[in-house]
Amino acid sequence: MRFFLCVLFLSGLAWGQMRIIPHVTSPNGGFTTQVMLTNGSDVAKQITVSAFDGMGEAIRPVEMLVPGRASTVFNPADVFETQPAHLELPNDTNVQVAVAYTDAAGTASPAHVPATEQTASRWRIFPGRWSDVIDGIALVNLSGKAISVDVRQRASGGASLSVQTVLMDVPDKGKGLLLLENFFSEMEGAFFDVEADGPVALTALRFSRGCPYFWQSAALPLPDSGERHPLIGKIANLQNKGNYGVSGSAEVLDEQTIMLRNFNYNGGGILVQIYAGMDGAYGNGFAISGDLISSTPYVNETMTLKIPAGHSLDEINGLSVWCVAVGADFGSGTFQ
C-alpha cells in the first residue's frame, strides 16, 4: 500500500440510573482491579453487577451481598465467567462503589477511583508532563448506537490546535482505550477536549514512567458545543470520468484527515494529484496528495490524505483525481 502523509439531561450532561466502572484491567496488562462495594445502611444489600466485554457484549451478571455497615471487595476476573472490560452497577444511594488499581506484582500502592455516575459527549482533560507520566483515557459508549470519538488539542487560551479521530465505530456499550501521546505532541499549557458522537462515561488515568504507579486525573464533563464539522464521517465515492479506471471511496475522518480506500487508477496522465474542492470546481481547489503518476497501477490501495495548512473542510465538498497539467477531472465524488 502507498500511504500519503498526504436519566436526567442538562446542557448535554447526564446523571444516569447506573454507576459505571469504565476500565477493568486485562489479565496480562500488569495491573489488577479490585471493586469495593460499601454499604452505609444497617440493612444488607444485594447488588447486581453487570459486565460487558470490549465490544459491548453482555456477560452473565453476578449478585454481590454487602452486609450492613460493611464492605465487599472482589476481583472481577474471579467472579465473572469471562473477563469483563467494564462494569455497570445500580445507583443505590446507600451503597458506594469504587475500584482499586494495583500493579500485579503488588509493589506499589493502589489507586482508588470512584465509579462514575455522569455521562457527556464532551469531556475536558488536563495532561501531565509527558516526560514523567503517560495520560490514558478509558470510555464506554452509552449512546445506544455506534459512535466515533475525536480528541481536540487546545492552546492554553482555548484556540483549537489540532483534531484527531482516535476511535471509530465503538459499538453501544463498547469500550475504548487510548493514550494521548499516541496522537499528539506535548505543548506547554495545552489541554484536550474529548468529543464523541453521543454520551460516554469516561475515566482519565495517569501512569508514572519507569515505576508501577497509576492514578486518576481530572476529567471534566462539558456541554455540547456543536464544533464537530458536518463533513466528518461523510463519504465520497469516486466515479470514473475518462479512460483512467478511477474508483474508490474517501471518508472524512477529522478536520485534517481524509482516508481514501479501495483506490484504483491506472497511473496515467501528466502531473495528476488528488484535489479537494467545492461544487466540482476542482481547478479552484487545492492538492491533498503528491503526484500520482506511476508506471504501476493503483489497485485497491489505501491513502491517508491531509488537509494542508491554510485550508480547511469549509472549502470543500468533494474530491477529484485531477490532472493539473490540463485541468481535467479523471474521476471525482461528492461527500454525502
249 in the same domain as 217: no
Contact by Cβ (8 Å): 59, 51 = yes
Shared domain check, 193 and 134: yes
Q: Is the pTM value of this prediction over 0.95?
A: no
Q: In angstroms, rounded to a whole number, what is the distance separating the alpha carbons of residues 3 and 255?
A: 18
User: Is pLDDT of 6 > 60?
Assistant: no
Residues 69 and 218 in one domain: yes
316 and 187 in one domain?
no
Residues 274/321, Cβ–Cβ less than 8 Å = yes
Indicate whether 218 and 239 sit together in one domain: no
228 domain-assigned: no
Which of the listed residues 169, 190, 222 is the one where a domain comes to its end?
222
Same domain, 46 and 161: yes
- Residue 247, in any domain of the structure: yes
Give pLDDT tens digits for 34-83.
999 999 999 999 999 999 999 999 999 999 999 999 999 999 999 999 99
- CATH code of the domain covering residue 105: 2.60.290.11
Do 257 and 148 fall within a single domain? no
One domain, residues 78 and 104? yes
CA angle 30, 32, 36 (to 5 degrees): 160
pLDDT of residue 7: 33
pLDDT surpasses 70 at 1: no
Whether residue 279 sits in one domain with residue 194: no
Q: Show which of 222, 257, 275 is a domain's final residue.
A: 222
Same domain, 61 and 210: yes
- Is residue 236 within 8 Å of 245, Cβ to Cβ? no
Domain boundary at 222, 245, 262, which?
A: 222
229 in any annotated domain: no
* Confidence band for 9, pLDDT divided at 50, 70 and 90: very low
What's the pLDDT band for 14 if we cut at 50, 70, 90?
Answer: low
Percent of the chain exceeding pLDDT 70 equals 94
227 occurs within a structural domain: no
Dump pLDDT digits (tens) for 130-140: 999 999 999 99
Q: What does the pLDDT average to over 88-112?
A: 92
Scanning the structure block, which residue is given the C-alpha cell 482505550?
177
Do 217 and 88 lie in one domain? The reply is: yes
Domain count, the chain: 2
User: Residues near 41 by Cβ (< 8 Å), separated by ≥ 6?
Assistant: 68, 69, 94
* Residues 173 and 306 placed together within one structural domain of the fold: no
Domain assignment of residue 287, yes or no: yes
SS3 282: helix
What confidence tens digit (pLDDT) does each residue in 161-214 have?
888 989 999 999 999 999 999 999 999 999 999 999 889 999 999 999 988 888
If 0-12 CB within 10 Å is exposed, 13-18 middle and 19+ buried, where does residue 295 land? exposed
DSSP 217-244: E-EEEE-----S-TTTT-EEEEEE-SSS
Q: Is residue 3 part of a domain?
A: no
pLDDT, position 8: 33
Q: Do the beta carbons of residue 123 and residue 202 sit within 8 Å?
A: yes
Q: Does residue 152 lie in a domain region?
A: yes
Q: Of all residues in the chain, what percent are helix, strand and coil, respectively (each to 5)? A: 5, 55, 45
- Kindly report, residue by residue over 277-288, the tens digit of the pLDDT: 999 999 999 999
Domain holding 205, by residue range, is 8-222
The C-alpha cell that represents 12 in the structure block: 448535554
Spatial distance between the Cα atoms of 178 and 183, rounded to a whole number of angstroms: 9
65 located within any domain: yes
